[in-house]
Amino acid sequence: MGMVQTGPSGSTVIDCIATCTSLQWLQRLSLNTSLPFPVPIHVPIPVRASAHAPCPCPCPWALESEGRALSERRILHCVTGPMLIFGRDAELVSSVAATAVATTGAGLSAVVDAGTLLKNVVAAGWSDPSTVHTFVLEGDCDPDAVSRAINGALATAPVCHPGTLPAVVYVRRSHSPRETWAVATSTHEFEAIGEDPAPIATDFERLIRILRCAPAACLGPGSYFVSLTFPDLSEAVSCGEEWTPPEWAVDQQGPLHSALEVRADLLKSQDEEFVLSQLAIMRRGSQGLPIIYTVRSQNQGGDFPDDEAEVWRLMLAGLRFGVEYVDVEACWSREGREAFIALAKSAHRGTRVIGSFHSIKQTVAEISDADLCALFHECARAPVGGSVDIVKVVGRAESAQCSIRMNQAAISVRGALPDTVGSIVAICTTDAGRLSRALNVMLGPTPVAHPALPGKAAPGQLSAVEIERIRQILGLSSNPFTKQ
């Protein structure tokens, strides 16, 4: 049925990565595919344990809810890898480096100037990866010298295990200018909101755990994630002292939500700096809920242009920020998807992948049983040794029967999907597809709307309260996975 589309010639993720200087060091790595990277050096792709196994590392929102001070938190199952944190604000660099050390148990080494940067990072970093290096950019520093030193250090990085790849984090405060050369030299970026060191430390710890710690338990049956539709998240989230969490983050009147989906395609701008700033705002106001990063293209029912190269560029912004979940559309070329998934898993130990397909041009009734089941398998496709954690297939319903077929297809293929697939999302759009959302509660996480949002992310989308009300009307348990 032609469900996997290939982008225009030369517009795969390979071209995107090759020209994305913020991830220059990844050009050296073969992502275990037959893709033409400049230097074919093999990097082991993470082999994930069963998604149903208990997570050995406490998720950041669980730690926050326990209210323990950062210094009192135990270091649990975080791997160590070379890390360089740099920026112009000496106080900020020092404070976030202390957070990284406290989280991973690594050592700390301050680099005083660009002349010793390469020597120190290579000598101490690669021979002893349990080190967090810091470098403060002085007013008269030579950007070219710093860039050469950092790139030189990355060029000598050895083959590493997943989650231990070198991380170069550019840190700055939200009111400080974003320096282009620093962006191009770093692999990740951290924007500190406000001046209070406590929430900044919590935000940075979340990034460190995504880079170095095992992921939290996968979103599963009975859970809900809110699809945010704000064009500017600052309209809904404030960092002021009097601000209280909105209902879509913590709903006291209905079922609790388990994650927040940031739809980059629905933001008023897809400029990388704006998107990263929006993610920083959401991380601060999320009450510890994990972030699902999504770029929904037009052919999948979203607003972003159907340009594969541009999709991967915006997707890379999510990796640069560091998110708990990233949604990868199965409509794009297989080599592009596999390269991106391998990149995400190799550099971010705590990131999970959602493989998705949205059939908006055909109704479920127009798709054969074989093709419908094939969609689930295509979404689960990953590079050798890599993994997709959640499979999401969305169809367009013309009747309630479409909802039943979608649910039955998911149940029939569930046992044949890779062991790494922990959950399934099988739902239909339009009002006729509402039944599928009530049935999906038994399969995996369900995307939901909320009356406090400016609109719905998809036709027929329901709130968690509405979904559970439908289940009760049908004589089913509102949600058997939560305490009634």
Which residues, listed in sequence order, are joined to residue 447 by a DSSP beta bridge?
225
If we measure between CA atoms, which residue out of 173, 176, 210 comes closest to residue 79?
210
Q: Token match 């998720």: residue? A: 59
pLDDT for 104? 82
What would the 3-class secondary structure string for 30-85 be? ECCCCCCCCCCEECCCCCCCCCCCCCCCCCHHHHHHHCCCHHHCCCCCECCCCEEE
pLDDT (0 to 100) of residue 20: 39
Alpha helices in 322-459 (DSSP H): 334-347, 369-379, 400-413, 434-440
Which string of DSSP letters, residue by residue, matches 314-337? HHHHHHHH--SEEEEETTS-HHHH
Question: CB count, 10 Å around CB of 113?
Answer: 15
pLDDT single digits (tens) 11-61 = 333 344 334 333 333 433 333 333 322 222 222 222 222 232 322 222 222
Q: For residue 185, what pLDDT is reported?
A: 87
pLDDT (tens place) for every residue of the chain, 484 residues total: 334 333 333 333 334 433 433 333 343 333 333 332 222 222 222 222 223 232 222 222 222 222 223 333 334 456 667 788 999 999 999 999 999 988 888 777 776 666 666 566 655 555 556 678 888 888 777 888 888 877 776 766 665 565 567 789 999 999 999 999 999 889 999 999 999 999 999 999 999 999 988 899 999 999 999 999 999 998 877 655 556 666 666 665 666 889 999 999 999 999 999 999 999 999 998 888 999 999 999 999 999 999 999 999 999 999 999 999 999 999 999 999 999 998 898 889 999 999 999 998 899 999 999 999 999 999 999 998 689 999 999 999 999 999 999 999 999 999 999 999 999 999 999 999 999 999 999 999 999 998 888 889 999 999 999 999 999 999 999 999 986 5
- CA dist 19 and 35 (Å) reads 15
Q: Parallel, antiparallel, or unpaired: how do β-strands 325-329 and 224-228 relate?
A: unpaired
Rounded-to-10 torsion of CA 382, 383, 384, 387: -40
Angle of helix 272-285 versus helix 308-321 axis, rounded to 10:
40
Residue 52 phi, psi (nearest 5)? -90, -5
Q: pTM for this one?
A: 0.84
Over residues 212-262, the pLDDT tens digits come to 888 999 999 999 999 999 999 988 776 555 566 666 666 656 668 899 999
> So what's the pLDDT on residue 309?
92
Q: Write down the pLDDT at residue 430.
A: 95
